[in-house]
A and B are shown apart, each in its own frame.
Chain A
Amino acid sequence: QVRLVESGGGLVKPGGSLRLSCVASGFTFSDFYMTWIRQAPGKGLEWLSYIGRSGGSISYADSVKGRFTISRDNAANSVYLQMSSLRVEDTAMYYCARVQLWSGDFWGQGIPVTVSS
């Protein structure tokens, strides 16, 4: 079955950096786009970024453009989100999801990120 497991979250000070990882299993990873989505406490879903099958197609939301970098390693069945210049408002649960027909058809359980001094 499809499984996505995020890691790398935690507490970081404003201005700091963090790298999230998402390991996939149960499907041919290189056949799918992957995406990151976050949810601030008590708020709705916010799309952040997606990456194409070979890493050649990438898009970012304006809120993270220039601060976050998405990448993938198909040999490791993994997608990453490098986050830098973190702000208090980046505090959220971060989800990776598989992209199918421009939806997130399977999601990980999420990893919390807290940006606080």
Chain B
Amino acid sequence: SYELTQPLSLSVAPGQTVTIICEGNNIANKNVHWYQQKSGQAPVLVFSTKSSHSSVIAERFSVSESGDTATLSISKAQVGDEADYYCQVWDSGTLVFGPGTKVTVL
């Protein structure tokens, strides 16, 4: 079965840029979806790499992919960006989520 890996946690200073990596076999060939989940809330889709979806919060967010790596970058990080971030792809009839990355802004 297809597997995705992400770093467990990252920290970033306010105003700086943080990049979250999601790794999977040939992930650049897939549509990678990124979700933000703030504490106590449902996940929100913030970006899809190969579609036009981007949420209203996405102007500081950007994505890229190459080979086995997809990334979500958050520029000018704000305290309000503190959340868990999950990548997700569709593979062989299933939705596959990465383990999530906790981003702390401090």
Q: A101-B48, A102-B95, A105-B53 are in contact. Are A95 and B88 (CB under 8 A)?
A: no
User: With A35-B95, A59-B93 given, is the CB distance from A110 to B42 under 8 Å?
Assistant: yes
**Contact in complex: B45, A104 (CB < 8 Å):** yes
Q: Which 9 A-B pairs have the closest CB atoms?
A: A102-B90, A103-B33, A47-B95, A107-B42, A45-B97, A44-B100, A59-B93, A101-B51, A44-B99
Q: Do B100 and A45 touch (CB < 8 A)?
A: yes
User: In the complex, are the beta carbons of B43 and A104 less than 8 A apart?
Assistant: yes
Contact partners of A102 in chain B: CB under 8 A? 31, 33, 89-90, 95
- Chain A contact residues: helix, strand, loop or mixed: strand
- B42 contacts across to A, CB distance below 8 A: 95, 107-110
The residues of B that contact A61 with a CB separation of less than 8 Å are 94
What 0/1 readout, one digit per residue, does chain A (81-99) give for beta carbons within 8 Å of chain B? Answer: 0000000000000010000
Of residues 81 through 104 on chain B, the ones whose CB sits less than 8 Å from some CB of chain A are: 84, 86, 88-90, 93-100
* Residues 44-80 of A contacting B (Cβ, < 8 Å): 44-47, 50, 59, 61
User: Footprint of B on A, CB under 8 Å?
Assistant: 35, 37, 44-47, 50, 59, 61, 95, 100-110
Residue total for B at the interface (Cβ-Cβ under 8 A): 26
For the complex with contacts A44-B86, A45-B100, A108-B42, 12 further pairs of A-B residues with Cβ separation under 8 Å are A35-B95, A45-B35, A45-B86, A46-B97, A47-B88, A95-B43, A101-B51, A102-B33, A103-B53, A104-B45, A105-B45, A109-B41
Bound-state CA distance A76–B76 (Å) is 44
CB pair A59–B94 under 8 Å, yes or no, is yes
The verdict on A47 contacting B94 (CB below 8 Å), with A103-B88, A105-B53, A108-B42 known, is: yes
CA A37 to CA B95, docked complex, whole Å: 9
Least CB distance, B74 to chain A, in whole angstroms: 19
In whole angstroms, what is the CA distance A45 to B42 when docked? 10
